[in-house]
A and B are shown apart, each in its own frame.
Chain A
């Protein structure tokens, strides 16, 4: 066959590789900082910009979209060119993809500490950044698809299927979940409310894990593991089954994040069933990965790339077994809202994503710089530090999660809560929080050692920007009769459409009934829209990231109704744009906090939490009394809510400022009686108004609606 020389673009791979290292370290550093804040609130450096609620999203976004995001691009740009025997279609698009993505990361790193957030987990970035993400994702997709169309290799290897599924699904998820109505340049409200918002958010959240943290890495596993082991994947048949069943099933499982919540029961059950089914493709993939190493396990002892991969794939297997187990309602009743969930997540991120990324970096950097790894010893040390850090982190959180979960549910023989004070259960697990921070620090030190090792490696060689490769010339004559699936692979466009269909079916079947039948969410007559001041307060709650530690979802268990009050009803959230149910209880649930304490209690608690709850690990929020709410937006805010379907009269829209002043004065008066003077337009007053309103609407009715449990 006539051959020709082409050149692979290694420069773009190098750029993404260094970005991966840099943002990985930044993201882990922020992770360690927030871990420390959980036992030492003063570690927030006494500024609002570095307080837990605001920088916890910074940590999650940095590790997911900056660290893992850049690693995906690195892995895809490296493997795609080689699997297709084709240079990336457009160097310009590659560059735009790179710099655009870094700009988005910088924008996130600035806007999140400033408090610009939508509050929806892993989708916190505000709408202008959402649009930028969409554009960059399209640039990446276009570059990839065009490269595939221009390929020299007739067959599309399974890794590329995973890349295509990643591109398509992330695009769909991002767009659907980001429907929001802008209020200002930096503030928007979710198009959906309450239960629907929760359903969309966790359909997104769950599938972001699936199609951002999993499918691209599976694609990379199918490329880099055979490369590193120098033998083909254990079973290519299994990889095909793995691919189709994973993308077909994954999309349905989102509602398992909302078990025992106010989500309709049928949707919860659907989520459970599909979550259990997910074990099959996930473990099929894991086994396929590990068995690829059959016969070369001796290499695993010496090669840090393979070592890292083995721990990564094992972590994938553990996380994907644990996930379905957490989806069982009886397990979920204990695990949800506890530290068990972050433990589960970190098996996925620290082991699967983190260590697989490290493995790829150790694989790629020496190759594109045409040299040897600077120090094998340091790489091995990194392997052990990562593994030990991971174990410290995860075991501490299993311990803490299960302990606290059991304490929340413990009753005395007399039938009262054994630990009625939430804080008592927190103080119990604080040593574990310290161990977690230690584990994170060890993991971070490992990453720093890797950075040093890779930099020294790069310095000892020189980058082959354009790596020559001898490849067969393009086939001009048509092939003999081929089967339909081979034709399908020959038509990446059609293949892409089918992948889209497979993921959309699940999404649509899940959503349709909830959207079509309005009565799926029973409305409660006594539930009224928020007042203008409460809307402002809600925005303060969102801005400070309160949802990071406090849920607003009382599950229908006696242990929860005893502790917090009446369980949460779907109808109570119909005006919540966005929903604020939360996913973690570092502090107590707040859904029935309204009217429980005096305004002055909240004031004092916000200023010095320990004055009201000795031993509390909540940070102080003294800036709430200094920051003034922007009352010029009040009327627009109410109007925006009306556009979204909240039944405000035009009079309320017009009189918004008057109504706000009236309520603010009432609160200021009440505070004055307790000897506290504060500006009536301070964020503090607005937040107190909102907190005092939470969950009180249904108290006015004597009978509450019965929802089939």
Chain B
């Protein structure tokens, strides 16, 4: 019954197809983009929190190194 109700919306048949295409493109696009990034870019970004400030007073900040 619900299905019949939904069928009465004009153009409802493209809903699922549209949703699928949207999803597929979104995720495919994102994955392609992510894996095409060069390593330096990724590395640079990953290290952002670690060099977020150069302390004026070195004894105050973490002094440990890896």
Chain A residues packing against B (C-beta within 8 Å): 3, 5, 8, 79, 82-83, 85, 153, 155, 157-159, 222-223, 226-227, 230-233, 235-237, 240-241, 244-245, 248, 264-266, 370, 468-471, 485-486, 505, 509, 513, 516-517, 519-520, 522, 706-708
Contacts and interface: CB of A to CB of B under 8 A. Distances in A.
B26 A513 contact: no
Nearest to B35: A237
Contacts of B54: 3, 469-471
Contact of B49 (A5, A157, A519): A157
Contact of A155 (B1, B31, B48, B60): B48
A245 B30 contact: yes
A470 B35 CA distance: 34
Contacts of A519: 5, 8
Contacts of A505: 22
B62 A155 contact: no
B49 A471 contact: no
Contact of B6 (A3, A158, A468, A517): A517
B48 A471 contact: no
24 contacts: A82-B49, A153-B48, A157-B48, A157-B49, A159-B49, A227-B50, A230-B62, A230-B64, A235-B46, A236-B43, A236-B45, A244-B30, A245-B30, A248-B26, A264-B2, A266-B3, A468-B56, A469-B53, A471-B53, A505-B22, A513-B6, A517-B9, A520-B5, A707-B1
Contacts of B50: 226-227, 230-232
B17 interface: no
Interface range for B: 35 or more
B6 A227 contact: no
Interface string B32-54: 01110100011111111110111
A8 to B, nearest CB: 8
A519 B4 CA distance: 10
Contacts of B42: 236-237
Nearest to B41: A486
A485 to B, nearest CB: 6
A520 B2 contact: yes
A509 B16 CA distance: 10
B19, B37, B52, B60 — most chain A CB neighbours (10 Å): B52
A264 B4 CA distance: 12
Nearest to A706: B1
B26 A227 contact: no
Nearest to B48: A157
Contacts of B44: 155
A264 B3 CA distance: 10
Contacts of A5: 56
B16 to A, nearest CB: 10
A235 B12 CA distance: 41
Looking at B5, B19, B27, B49, which has the most chain A CB atoms within 10 Å of its CB? Answer: B49
A468 B66 CA distance: 25
A82 B46 contact: no
Nearest to B10: A516
A509 B19 contact: yes
Contacts of B31: 241
B35 A265 contact: no
B9 A516 contact: yes
Given A79-B49, A470-B54, 14 more contacts: A3-B54, A85-B53, A223-B49, A230-B65, A232-B46, A233-B46, A237-B35, A237-B42, A266-B6, A370-B60, A471-B54, A486-B41, A505-B22, A519-B5
Contacts of A520: 2, 5-6
B52 A82 contact: yes
A233 B41 CA distance: 14
Contacts of A223: 49
B5 A517 contact: yes
A245 B31 CA distance: 10
A535 B50 CA distance: 59
B48 A265 contact: no
B34 A237 contact: yes
Nearest to B12: A513
Contacts of B52: 82-83, 85, 153
B57 to A, nearest CB: 8
